[in-house]
Structure 1
Amino acid sequence: MQNSSFNTIYTRLPLLLIALGCSLQMKAQKKEGEVKTDEIEVWKEAKVNLPQANRIFEKISTAKIDNTKKPIRYEFIERRLPVETPEFSPTVTMPDKGSTKENEFAERYNNIIRAGIGNYGHTFLEGHGGFSTGEDNYHGVYVKHNSFRLGPIGANYSGQSQNLIKVHSRTSFSSVKLAGALGWERRGFDYYAYNNQTNFNFPESQIFNSWNKFNFTGTVSNNNKNAKVDYVLNSNLSYLFTHLKANELVWNANLKGVYPLTEQLSALLEGSIVIAQRQDSLTLYRNLYKVKPTFQFKNDLFSITAGLNIINDREKNTFNNSYLFPIVKIDVQPIEGVKVFAGYEGDVYANNLSSLLTENQWLGRFTQLRNTRKTADYFAGAKTTLSNGLSVEAKISYARYKDFYVFNSNSTDSTRFDVMYSNDTTIVKVTTFSGQASYQIPDVWRSNFKFDVNVYSGLGNLENAWHRPAFNATWTNTFTVKDKLLLASDFYFITGLKGKNYVTNREVKLNSIIDLNLKATYLLSEHLDLFISVNNILNKSYQRYLYYPTQGVNFLGGLSYSF
Structure 2
Amino acid sequence: MTIVNHTFLNRQCTYPSLKNKHIMQNPSYKIFALSILGAFFTVSQTFAQKQQGEVKTDDIEIYKDTKVVLPQANRIFDKVPISADDNARKPIRYEFIERKLPVQTPEFSPTVNMPDGGSKEDTKAAKHSNIIRVGMGNYGHTFLEAHAGIPMGEDNYHGIYIKHNNFRLGPVGANYSGVSQNIVKVHSRTSFDAVKLEGALGWERRGFDFYGFTPKNYDFPESQIYNSWNKFNFNGVISNSNKDSKVDYEFKSNLSYLFTHLKANELVWKGSGSAVFPVTEQLSAIVDGTLVLAQRQDSLTLYRNLYKLKPTFQYKTDKFTVTAGLNVINDREKNTFNNSYVYPIIKLDVQPMQGIKVFAGYEGDVYANNLTSFLLENQWLNRFTELRNTRKTNDFYVGGKASLQNGLDVEAKLSYANYKDFYVFNNSRTDSTRFEALYSDDSTTVKVTNFTAQASYQIPEMFRSNLKFDVNIFSGLGNLKNAWHRPSFTATWNNTFTIKQKLLVSSDLYFLTGMKGNNFLTNKEVKLDPIIDLNFKFTYLITEHFDVFISANNVFNKNYQRYLYYPTQGVNFLGGLSYSF
TM-score (ref. length: structure 2): 0.86
Deviations 1:351-396, CA, capped at 9 Å, x for gaps: 0000000110000000000000000000001222222211211111
Cα distance in 2 for residues equivalent to 1:543 and 1:94: 26
Partner Cα separation in structure 2 for residue 121 and residue 49 of structure 1:
39
1:45 counterpart residue number: 60
1:310-333 deviation digits (Å, cap 9, x = unpaired): 100000000000000000000111
Q: Which residue of 2 aligns with 1:83?
A: 103
Alignment map for 1:412-451 (pairs within 5 Å): 412-451=430-469
Report deviation, 1:44: 7.1
Provide the residue aligned with 2:209 in structure 1. Answer: 190
Give the deviation of 1:512 after TM superposition: 0.2
Match of 2:169 among 134, 150, 170: 150
Q: What RMSD in Å do the two structures reach over aligned CA positions? A: 2.4
Aligned to 1:466: 484
Note if contact 2:536-2:551 (Cα within 8 Å) is conserved in structure 1: yes
User: What amino acid maps onto 1:79 in structure 2?
Assistant: R
Tell me if structure 2 keeps the 8 A contact 1:392–1:436.
yes
**SS, match of residue 552 in structure 1:** coil
Distance 1:498 1:44, change over 3 A: farther
Shift of residue 412, structure 1, vs aligned partner: 1.6
Per-residue deviation, 1:140: 1.1
Q: 1:71, CA displacement in angstroms?
A: 4.9
2:120 equivalent among 82, 91, 99: 99
The 3 A distance-change label for structure 1 pair 22 and 314 is farther
Per the alignment, do residues 370 and 49 of structure 1 end up closer, same or farther by CA in structure 2, a change over 3 Å counting?
Answer: closer
Post-superposition CA distance 1:505-543 (Å, at most 9, x none): 100000000000000000001101111110000111210
| C-alpha contact (below 8 Å) 1:348/1:374 kept by paired residues | yes
Q: Which structure 2 residues correspond to residues 170-249 of structure 1 after superposition, within 5 A?
A: 170-197=189-216, 199-249=217-267
Determine helix, strand or coil for the equivalent of 2:372: helix
Query: Post-superposition shift, 1:168?
Result: 1.1
User: In the alignment, does 2:423 pair up with 1:408?
Assistant: no
Which position in structure 1 is the counterpart of 2:52?
none
Q: Distance in 2 between matches of 1:187 and 1:18?
A: 26
Give the CA deviation at 1:274: 0.3
CA distance in 2, matches of 1:95, 1:447: 16
Measure, in 1, the Cα distance between the counterparts of 2:390 and 2:556: 37
SS in 1 for 2:373: helix
Give the equivalent residue in structure 1 for 2:8.
Answer: none
Look up the equivalent residue of 1:308 and give its one-letter code. Answer: L
Where 1:356 maps in the other structure, the secondary structure is helix
Alpha-carbon separation, structure 2, partners of 1:532 and 1:17? 43
Instruction: Identify if the C-alpha distance between structure 1 residues 379 and 235 changes in structure 2 by more than 3 Å, giving closer, same or farther.
Output: same
Instruction: Spell out the pairing of 1:131-530 with structure 2 (5 A cutoff).
Output: 131-197=150-216, 199-530=217-548
Runs of 5+ unmatched residues, structure 1: 1-14, 29-41, 63-69
Could you tell me how far 1:110 is from its partner in structure 2?
2.9
Contact conserved, 2:62 with 2:98, CA < 8 A, in 1? no
**Which amino acid counterpart does residue 444 of structure 2 have in structure 1?**
T
Shift in Å at residue 445 of structure 1?
0.9
In structure 2, how many angstroms separate the alpha carbons of the residues matched to 1:408 and 1:16?
Answer: 35
What is the one-letter code of the residue matched to 1:45? I
What letter corresponds to residue 93 of structure 2 in structure 1? R
Inter-partner Cα distance in structure 2 for 1:543 and 1:242: 24
Return the alpha-carbon distance in structure 2 between the equivalents of residues 135 and 335 of structure 1: 36
CA distance in 1, matches of 2:58, 2:470: 16
Taking a change above 3 Å as real, the CA distance of residues 528 and 16 of structure 1, as seen in their structure-2 partners, is closer
* Distance across 2 between alignment mates of 1:49 and 1:195: 41
**Aligned partners of 1:356, 1:167: CA distance in 2, in Å?**
25
Alpha-carbon distance in structure 1 between the residues aligned to 2:456 and 2:157: 33
Asked whether the equivalents of residues 541 and 549 of structure 1 are also in contact (C-alpha less than 8 Å), the reply is: yes
**CA–CA separation in structure 1 for the residues paired with 2:318 and 2:36:** 39
Deviation string, structure 1 residues 17-74 (Cα, Å, up to 9, x no partner): 997644125789xxxxxxxxxxxxx997148889xxx99xx9xxx9xxxxxxx95322
Residue by residue over 1:147-196, the C-alpha shift from the partner in whole angstroms, topping out at 9 and shown as x without a partner, is 10000000000000000000111111100011111110000000000121
Q: Tell me which residue corresponds to 2:574.
A: 556
SS in 2 for 1:333: strand
Distance 1:382 1:137 in 2: 36
Q: Corresponding residue for 1:115?
A: 134
Q: What is aligned with 2:4?
A: none
* CA contact 2:64–2:97 (8 Å) conserved in 1: no
* Preserved contact between residue 554 and residue 572 of structure 2 (Cα < 8 Å): yes
For the residues of structure 2 that align with 1:391 and 1:229, how far apart are their CA atoms?
Answer: 32
Residues in 2 aligned to 1:386 and 1:500: alpha-carbon distance in whole angstroms: 46
Give me the whole-angstrom Cα distance separating, in 2, the residues matched to 1:47 and 1:76: 6
Q: CA deviation at 1:95?
A: 3.2
Instruction: Determine helix, strand or coil for the equivalent of 1:206.
Output: helix
Q: CA contact under 8 A between 1:46 and 1:305: conserved in structure 2?
A: no
AA paired with 1:78? E
Alpha-carbon spacing, 1:71–1:25, altered in 2? closer, same or farther (3 Å): closer
User: Which has the higher relative contact order, 1 or 2, with Cα contacts under 8 A spaced 6 or more apart?
Assistant: 2
8 Å CA contact 2:115–2:551 kept in 1: the answer is no
